[in-house]
Chain A
Amino acid sequence: QKEVEQNSGPLSVPEGAIASLNCTYSDRVSQSFFWYRQYSGKSPELIMSIYSNGDKEDGRFTAQLNKASQYVSLLIRDSQPSDSATYLCAVNISPLGDSWGKFQFGAGTQVVVTP
Chain B
Amino acid sequence: DVKVTQSSRYLVKRTGEKVFLECVQDMDHENMFWYRQDPGLGLRLIYFSYDVKMKEKGDIPEGYSVSREKKERFSLILESASTNQTSMYLCGNGYTFGSGTRLTVV
In the complex, number of A-B residue pairs with CB atoms less than 8 Å apart: 49
Contact assessment for B40 and A100 in the assembled complex, using a CB-CB cutoff below 8 Å: no
Q: Per DSSP, are chain B's interface residues mostly helix, strand or loop, or mixed?
A: strand
Q: Which residue of the partner chain A has the closest CB to B29? A: A100
Chain A residue contacts of B35, Cβ below 8 A? 105
A108 to B99, alpha carbons, bound, how many Å?
Answer: 18
Task: List the one stretch of B13-21, B62-70, B77-85, B90-98 in contact with chain A.
Answer: B90-98
Contact between chains at B42 and A107 (CB < 8 Å):
yes
Q: Which of A53-99 contact B (CB under 8 A)?
A: 88, 99
Within the assembled complex, what's the spacing in Å between the Cα atoms of A38 and B13?
26
Of chain A, the residue at the smallest CB distance from B33 is: A101
A102-B33, A102-B48 as given contacts; A46 in contact with B95, CB under 8 Å: yes
| Residues on A with beta carbons closer than 8 Å to the beta carbon of B58 | 102
Partner of A103, one of B32, B45, B50, B98: B45
Residue A10 CB within 8 A of the other chain = no
Question: Shortest Cβ distance from B87 into chain A, in angstroms?
Answer: 13
A34 engages B95 (CB within 8 Å): yes
A30 beta carbon closer than 8 Å to chain B? no
Q: How far is the CA of A46 from the CA of B31 in the complex (A)?
A: 16
**Which B residues are in CB contact (< 8 Å) with A42?**
99-100
